[in-house]
């Protein structure tokens, strides 16, 4: 969807006819044009879904098989479906059988073999860089291209510090609110405004079906936290979780096409007591689930003990790890403490183990961090985790402004991205207070796009400042229409202008 | 005005009965209390104004005189008043005759003599620090207490890097919109949410009268840019400005009680050509007025050539300089360029000259600066200007997000304050687009308070993080009412919470 009449979609072609990378072209009133990175995709009828852009690329590598797949169960959609005896609003579009590799089919695997995939070429055109940079960064683990073979609808996208800083938007239903249609609408809305990936954090009813609708309509990689669904399957009692239930949930999601999964495998039994003296203890939902399981069962985290099993599964679908920071600080006072850093050391160990399986990895980071401690987070993560991409939630630079935490966190996010964080998880104005609605999703995405771009400019990323310069020239020459068209959010810019000076004359002179 | 039912005003007393410093006490549901710095003042009937808190302190020093003062002229209120033959809505409260020192009556003068004034003691209680820190920092020029003898209504407040980071809010009418009552309302609204100073940037009709109403009702120091009014007096033609017209305007404002004035004395004739290759040239209104004057008259800036005359005037009223950065960058591309830095060197020279007169000085800074160049701005300003307080506008970290420039600039503001900027000039969502309304003023102030506080926390300012910790404890214990009461903006926090979960039970459990 284009958001402004001066915007159109143009494509840059690759070495073969089916590599066509979309950009948003902004037509300026002085006859010039400006091309912008876009994540909106070609647009879809939600009931039909997107065309399988990557299907041929995946198939022609000749290393995957179709298979019957796991049978969907009523419990996959939660207790309500079980009660009703049927799932609601099931996916009505076409759905090929699931695919998986006979062996390892990850972009990292190909990159390490020296092979340039169409996905890598697509990414290089998108980023305006040499394809060898893409291949070598993926091979080294310094960047990932999250691309499940069962999500061929997604446009390939790279996450790594040598590339544009990316933004993730969280959506998802909960027991309290929202329908499948609303979640699909939030997905489309988020990518319209520039979300580079979307995480479906649903915890309520219809989890399986909601995810299916989202993936089939998503032009961007989809991430999940599978422990949320696994917990629903054991009636919300963390102590009853098992590796088997978790494994089954992971395979369910691999077959649907989830591109990356947050795995809280660094929450070790011995780290839990380190959080006792904190002001806010454990605030990560996944972290507290796993800490609760460890304590209840007096056993080591099964995600840690079964980590190699997970790697073997991920390798066959090309699912990327997002190694969760279950012990991240929940307030500035708890930042960079022993619990957080102990977990980070374990995430570094797990990064290496995933790489031994050629599985792609990024590492999650905080959270809440005072500005003076932000840089240390990136420095330690990059050093310990051998430059695996860092993916942070904000961080919030202060705790005193609920209702404005998109801003408190954008301050930390811009700073941490400038120092090398590869992807930022957005925070909306509803953080700590409630569930984001459509407007909050837009505000969150725009706020994080400006933070990410501020970091790109600060890093001197090639070409990043061209956008600023083009808009600044329009501003200096009073080309108001061009200022609006070049804005991250043309609608808001024009509406604010018109509040004071609505006359057409005041936009052209 | 208190903004929440759990808030009340308490006073901490000094060495004498008339030193009573207000704090906002937040009563928590667990029986504890938390005291917050407040700028709201005791509240006023706009038609009556505030009581003259400092009148006795000023008088008892025995170094000032009352005098007849300059006669107000119709032109002081602009062309419309001239046309009408009368000023509108003149100030109706009491108005003593103006005062001025027989000699130098600045806080810096007393501090250098080793004298501790009631103003310094008031400030020390407010900041929770030793009064000797206040005196010595003011004596050294590293901090200022803007306190015109003709603005006794203001509560003393200090600006310097050893103290809490301060926030200024700009208000002011223009030819296009708004009445006197609206501007007084914006003043009260801005200080209710925490503005530490307010600048009246009026450029339209009724300038003199609007300022009178604002000063008489302001519990915080008031700043102005007198060249704006001087320009109105010469029919908007910058080339016709003279030292005499400017001097007359400055005295008019000194007598009213303006506490600090932006003076663009660093825009030298030889610096103007340095802006020729910029993308956005000269964007400061004062800067372009003075550059225009210099070019039209082929003469050196009269603010520079008459700087000592200005110092002599300021010394007798205790007006502080805010040395304007008329050549500040208007986009990230122009940041830290030769024009900007050449002017900064001149501002450093003028700082020293003002100090020779015992006149208080702060130095203004940018504007638009990419994050990687932010620190250099503070480092150079502090070094060249011998640690005179730095007062920056943002800076915006990117130019691509009109409509969200309160956020793009809060990112730069938090960073620059962490590195030592003493006061931040807010930016509202309407920046570059139109004039801020009441909601924009609130959003701008809250956004800058959270940026300033983030910097206080990052600097490890004594006690700053107590606020975060108190709120975080409330959050961890699900004391929702306390979370709201402790928030920078309790109304928004509670409203957002209630959107998802309006039930009372969900605030107590």
Over residues B243-292, the pLDDT tens digits come to: 999 999 999 999 999 999 999 999 999 999 999 999 999 999 999 999 99
Name the pLDDT band for B205 (thresholds 50, 70, 90): confident
Distance CA A319, CA A149 (A): 8
The answer to whether the CB of A278 falls within 8 A of the CB of A329 is yes
The number of angstroms, rounded, from the C-alpha of B345 to the middle of its chain's C-alpha atoms is: 23
Pairing assessment for the beta strands A166-171 and A423-425 based on DSSP bridges: parallel
Interatomic CA distance for residues B127 and B164, integer angstroms: 7
Q: Are B400 and A465 in contact (CB < 8 Å)?
A: no
Q: Which ranges constitute the DSSP H helices of A301-337?
A: 302-305, 307-317
**Nearest to residue A73, comparing CAs of A237, A248, A223?**
A248
Angstrom distance (rounded) from CA B31 to CA A80: 42
Q: Calculate the dihedral angle through the C-alpha atoms of A285, A290, A295, A298, rounding to the nearest 10 degrees.
A: 180
Question: Count H helices, E strands: chain A?
Answer: 20, 15
Strands A99-101 and A64-66: antiparallel
Confidence of residue B173 (pLDDT cuts 50, 70, 90): confident
Burial of B473 (0-12, 13-18, 19+ CB in 10 A): buried
Q: Which two tokens stand for residue A298?
A: 């007096």
Angle between helices B307-317 and B338-356 (to 10 degrees): 50
What pLDDT does residue B103 have?
96
Measure in Å the smallest separation between the Cα of A395 and chain B Cα atoms.
Answer: 12
The span from the CA of B233 to the CA of B331, in Å, is 31
pLDDT confidence of residue A67: 97
- The alpha carbons of chain B give a radius of gyration, in whole angstroms, of 22
Among residues A373, A366, A350, A187, the alpha carbon closest in space to that of A280 is found at A366
Quote the tokens at residue B123: 């400030």
| B370 vs A contacts (CB less than 8 Å) | 454, 457-458, 465
Q: Is A169 helix (H, G, I), strand (E, B) or coil?
A: strand
Q: How far is A403 from chain B (nearest CA, A)?
A: 5
Chain B hits for A466, CB-CB cut-off 8 Å, are none
| Cα separation, B339 vs B325, whole angstroms | 10
Query: Given an 8 Å threshold on Cβ–Cβ distance, is B410 in contact with A411?
Result: yes
pLDDT in tens, B284-316: 999 999 999 999 999 999 999 999 999 999 999
CA angle A473, A474, A479 (to 5 degrees): 150
Question: What are the distances in angstroms from CA B380 to CA A133, B343, B385, B409, B419?
Answer: 37, 12, 8, 20, 11
- Residue B430, by phi and psi: left (phi above 0), alpha (psi -120 to 50) or beta? alpha
- Put simply, the answer to whether B475 touches A332 (Cβ < 8 Å) is no
Residue A481, CA distances (Å) to A9, A507, B154, B298 in order = 19, 7, 44, 37
Residues of chain A predicted below pLDDT 50: 509
What is the pLDDT at residue B388? Answer: 98
pLDDT of residue B509: 46
State the count of interchain CB pairs (< 8 A) between A and B. 241
Give the phi and the psi of residue A119 in degrees, each rounded to 5: -60, -45
For the entire predicted model, the pTM comes to: 0.97
B458 neighbourhood in chain A, CB within 8 Å: 370-372, 397
User: CA-CA distance, B207 to B218, in Å (whole number)?
Assistant: 16
Residue B187: pLDDT band (50, 70, 90) is: very high
pLDDT at position A334, please?
Answer: 98
Q: Are B400 and A468 in contact (CB under 8 A)?
A: yes
Chain B residues within an 8 Å CB radius of A435: 500
Concatenate the DSSP letters of all residues of A349-396 into one string: HHHHHHHHTT--EEEEE-SB--GGGHHHHHHHHHHHTTTPPEEEE--B
Degrees, nearest 5: CA angle A263-A266-A267: 100
Tokens of B10: 């308490």
DSSP code at position A285:
H
Neighbours of A315 (CB within 10 A): 22
Which 3 state secondary structure label does DSSP give B66?
strand
Phi, psi of B22 (to 5 degrees): -80, 145
CB A340 within 8 A of CB A380: no
Query: What are the C-alpha distances in Å from A8 to residues A2, A25, A201, A257, B400?
Result: 7, 5, 32, 30, 19
Q: Do the beta carbons of residue A176 and residue B501 sit within 8 Å?
A: yes
Chain A hits for B457, Cβ within 8 Å? 332, 370-371, 397-398
Contact: A489, B401; criterion CB under 8 Å: yes
Closest of A367, A363, A450, A453 to residue A160, by C-alpha? A363
User: Binning pLDDT at 50, 70 and 90, where does residue B506 land?
Assistant: low
Q: Mutation test of the interface with chain A: which of B279, B402, B488, B503, choosing the one with the most A Cβ atoms within 10 A? A: B402
Residue B97 burial (10 A CB sphere; 0-12, 13-18, 19+): exposed
For the record, the structure tokens of A372 come out as 């003076």
User: Alpha-carbon distance B247 to B189, whole Å?
Assistant: 32
Residue reference for tokens 């339209």? B204
Rounded-to-integer distance, Cα A390 and Cα A143, Å: 10
Start-to-end C-alpha separation, chain A: 30
Inter-chain touch B500–A177, beta carbons under 8 Å: yes
User: Rounded to an integer, what distance in angstroms lies between the CA atom of residue A266 and that of residue B144?
Assistant: 51
Q: Which residue of A has its CA nearest to B443?
A: A404
Chain B residue with CA closest to A369: the answer is B458
Q: How deeply is A72 buried, as exposed, middle or buried, from its count of CB atoms within 10 A (0-12, 13-18, 19+)?
A: middle
Q: Which of B398, B459, B472 sits opposite A333 (nearest CB)?
A: B472
Task: Please state, in angstroms and rounded to a whole number, the distance separating the CA atoms of residues A121 and A125.
Answer: 6
Contacts of B333 in chain A (CB under 8 A): 465, 468-469, 472
Spatial distance between the Cα atoms of A370 and A411, rounded to a whole number of angstroms = 10
- Report the distance separating Cα A70 and Cα A245, nearest Å: 13
Give the pLDDT confidence of B306-353 residue by residue, as tens digits: 999 999 999 999 999 999 999 999 999 999 999 999 999 999 999 999
CB A48 within 8 A of CB A494: no
Contact A8, A2 (CB under 8 A): yes
Nearest CA to CA, how far is A373 from chain B (Å)? 8
Q: What is the tens place of the pLDDT at every residue in B373-385?
A: 999 999 999 999 9
User: Token pair for residue B178?
Assistant: 């708004």
Pull the structure tokens for residue B80.
Answer: 């419309």
Chain A hits for B448, CB-CB cut-off 8 Å, are none
Instruction: Write out the DSSP string of A47-108.
Output: TT----TTHHHHHHT--EEE---PPP-GGGG-HHHHHHTS-SS---S--PPPEEESS---HH
Please tell me whether the peptide bond between B12 and the residue prior to it is cis, using omega within 30 degrees of 0. no
C-alpha distance from A485 to closest chain B C-alpha (Å): 10
Q: Which of B372, B410, B414 sits opposite A458 (nearest CB)?
A: B372
Which tokens go with B394? Answer: 């943002």
From chain A, pick out residues whose CB is under 8 angstroms from the CB of B432.
475, 483
- Separation between Cα atoms, residue B246 and residue B227, nearest integer Å: 7
Gyration radius (Cα) of chain A, Å: 22
Residues B322, B260 contacting (CB under 8 angstroms): yes
Predicted pLDDT of residue A509? 46
Q: Are B449 and B488 in contact (CB under 8 A)?
A: yes
Residue B427 is given by DSSP the state: -
Contact (CB<8Å) A476/B371: no
- For chain A, helix, strand, coil in percent to 5 are 45, 15, 40
Q: Are A326 and A282 in contact (CB under 8 A)?
A: yes
């Amino acid at each position: 969807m284009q958001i402004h009449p001066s915007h159109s979609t143009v494509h840059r072609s690759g070495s073969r006819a089916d590599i066509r990378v979309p950009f948003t072209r902004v037509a300026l009133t002085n006859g010039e044009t400006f091309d912008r990175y876009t994540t909106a995709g070609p647009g879809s009828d939600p009931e039909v879904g997107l065309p399988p852009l990557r299907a041929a690329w995946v198939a022609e590598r000749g290393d995957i098989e179709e298979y019957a797949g796991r049978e969907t169960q009523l419990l996959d959609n939660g207790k309500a479906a079980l009660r009703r005896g049927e799932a609601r609003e099931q996916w009505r579009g076409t759905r090929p059988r699931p695919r998986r590799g006979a062996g390892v089919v990850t972009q990292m695997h190909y990159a390490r073999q020296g092979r340039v995939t169409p996905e890598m070429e697509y990414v290089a055109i998108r980023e305006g860089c040499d394809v060898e940079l893409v291949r070598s960064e993926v091979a080294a683990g310094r960047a990932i291209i999250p691309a499940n073979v069962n999500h061929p609808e997604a446009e390939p996208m790279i996450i790594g510090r040598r590339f544009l800083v990316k933004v993730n938007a969280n959506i998802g239903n909960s027991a309290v609110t929202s329908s499948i249609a609303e979640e699909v609408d939030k997905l489309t809305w988020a990518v319209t405004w520039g979300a580079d990936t979307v995480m479906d954090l649903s915890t309520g009813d219809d989890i399986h079906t909601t995810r299916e609708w989202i993936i089939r309509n998503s032009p961007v990689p989809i991430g999940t936290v599978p422990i949320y669904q696994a917990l629903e399957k054991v009636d919300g009692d963390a102590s009853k979780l098992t590796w088997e239930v978790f494994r089954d949930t992971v395979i369910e999601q691999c077959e649907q096409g989830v591109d990356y999964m947050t795995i809280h495998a660094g929450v070790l039994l011995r780290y839990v007591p380190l959080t006792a003296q904190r002001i806010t203890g454990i605030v990560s939902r996944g972290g507290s689930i796993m800490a609760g399981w460890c304590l209840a069962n007096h056993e080591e985290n099964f995600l840690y003990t079964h980590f190699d099993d997970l790697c073997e599964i991920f390798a066959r679908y090309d699912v990327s790890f997002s190694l969760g920071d279950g012990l991240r600080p929940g307030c500035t006072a708890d930042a960079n403490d022993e619990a957080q850093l102990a977990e980070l050391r374990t995430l570094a160990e797990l990064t290496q183990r995933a790489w031994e399986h050629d599985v792609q990895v990024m590492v999650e980071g905080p959270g809440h961090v005072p500005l003076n401690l932000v840089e240390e987070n990136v420095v330690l993560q990059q050093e310990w985790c051998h430059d695996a991409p860092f993916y942070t939630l904000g961080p919030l630079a202060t705790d005193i402004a609920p209702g404005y935490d998109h801003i408190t966190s954008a301050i930390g996010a811009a700073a941490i991205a400038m120092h090398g964080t590869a992807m930022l998880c957005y925070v909306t104005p509803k953080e700590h207070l409630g569930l984001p609605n459509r407007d909050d999703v837009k505000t969150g995405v725009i706020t994080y796009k400006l933070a990410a771009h501020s970091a790109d400019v600060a890093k001197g990323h090639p070409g990043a400042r061209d956008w600023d310069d083009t808009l600044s020239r329009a501003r200096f020459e009073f080309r108001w229409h061009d200022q609006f068209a070049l804005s991250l959010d043309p609608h808001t810019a024009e509406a604010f202008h018109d509040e004071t000076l609505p006359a057409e004359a005041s936009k052209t002179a």
